[in-house]
Amino acid sequence: MYFVGPSETAANKTTTALFPLVFAPLLLFPFLFPYSSPCYYIFKVAPSDVPPVNYHKSESRKMRAERNQGSCVAIRCLPPAFISRYSNGSSSSVDDVTCGSPRWIGRGFSCVCIKRKVVYERVCVNLTPSQEERLNRLKHRMNVYFDPSRHGHQEALRALWASTYPDQELNGLISEQWKQMGWQGKDPSTDFRGGGFISLENLLFFAKTFSGSFQRLLNKQGGKRAAWEYPFAVAGVNITFMIMQMLDLHSSKPRRFVRTVFIQMLAEDEWAFDLLYCVAFMVMDKQWLERNASYMEFNEVLRSTRVQLEKELLLDDVMRIEDMPSYGLLS
């Protein structure tokens, strides 16, 4: 069960009275009511009818108070097998499949309590001051364009080269050497248009934090490789842009549930976006190998990577980026 706390209305009393007659057969004999579409069944119940739940100790008193202020919406979630059936091979996002159209976001619902690891965790649409601060910092990073005339941006490029090729001296910021890293030309600054400066920061974070995985992907080690491989650095810029779109971080109001879940992770770890980037790169390469893909199939592989990331972020036991199953690909 998930619980959301909107305001109490007089209509809830009637709904509560009808609840046993309408929904008891559905709850007791679910096999008599086959699912017809990938969505949640939503119904309102009065606060007194909500069964007790075990919240985190630090949140229990506050959550009980919020729950008792108004009615709740109980949402019956879909079985994993059903979700997988609709998500595999589909162009729609996992968020749409698991949560249905997230129209409840921004409709007066301030919180959702999600059952994760046996206990209930609160996921709020309304951000706390610390969450808003972290999100604003990330948005600021996303809005910085790469400027080849800025000293800090030049130094970041040099740091990326030094982390990638520690034993090879760079001849200059405009050099044919950059092509061996997977940039399209001798001037890498022309490839940052889509991702901005944060895409360079992501590559640098990957190179410094998970150097083993970074070097394996850079050098295309492991697996049967295509004759026409994806360019490593340009692929990294595209992955940054894909994650920004997936999380819908540019929008002023939350429109997708995966964004709300990610912001909870960001509040706990300021480097959540960069960690997710590293996971995404590994997932993309894994799917590339499994498909035996070539360069012309890159966009298709990137779309399937996004679906896999969304699916993992919404798993019940994923509380941090490190809890994602694909995080284990990193070393």
In SS3 terms, 8-77 reads as: CCCHHHHHHHHHHHHHHHHHHCHHHCCCCCCCCEEEEECHHHCCCCCECHHHHHHHHHHHHCCCEEEEEC
6 has a pLDDT exceeding 70? no
**Count of domains for the chain:** 2
Residue where one domain finishes, among candidates 54, 89, 124: 124
pLDDT number for residue 307: 97
Same domain for 103 and 153?
Answer: no
Same domain for 119 and 221?
Answer: no
Q: Scanning the structure block, which residue is given the tokens 């979700």? A: 83
pTM of the model: 0.68
Confidence of residue 224 (pLDDT cuts 50, 70, 90): confident
Same domain for 85 and 198?
Answer: no
Same domain for 197 and 316?
Answer: yes
Q: Scanning the structure block, which residue is given the tokens 């309408």? A: 22
- Stretch among 54-63, 118-127, 187-196 having the lowest mean pLDDT: 54-63
Same domain for 259 and 209?
Answer: yes
The residue segments making up the domain with residue 12 are 2-124
Reported as type and span, the H/E element at residue 4 is strand 2-4
Same domain for 222 and 115?
Answer: no
Same domain for 161 and 38?
Answer: no
41-45 and 72-76: which strand pairing? antiparallel
Residue where one domain finishes, among candidates 124, 145, 162: 124
pLDDT digits (tens, 9 = 90+) for 195-218: 899 999 999 999 999 999 999 999
Same domain for 93 and 61?
Answer: yes
pLDDT digits (tens, 9 = 90+) for 96-140: 333 433 443 444 444 545 444 444 444 555 778 888 899 999 999
Token pair, residue 319, equals 């509380």
Token pair, residue 168, equals 């090879």
Same domain for 102 and 133?
Answer: no
Token pair, residue 48, equals 């007194």
CB atoms within 10 A of CB 169: 8
Same domain for 145 and 288?
Answer: yes
Same domain for 118 and 140?
Answer: no
Residue where one domain finishes, among candidates 89, 124, 159: 124
CB 269 within 8 A of CB 275: yes
What is the Rg, in whole angstroms, of the alpha carbon atoms belonging to the chain?
23
3-state secondary structure of 115: strand
Same domain for 100 and 167?
Answer: no
Can you tell me the distance from the alpha carbon of 83 to that of 81, in angstroms, rounded to the nearest whole number? Answer: 5
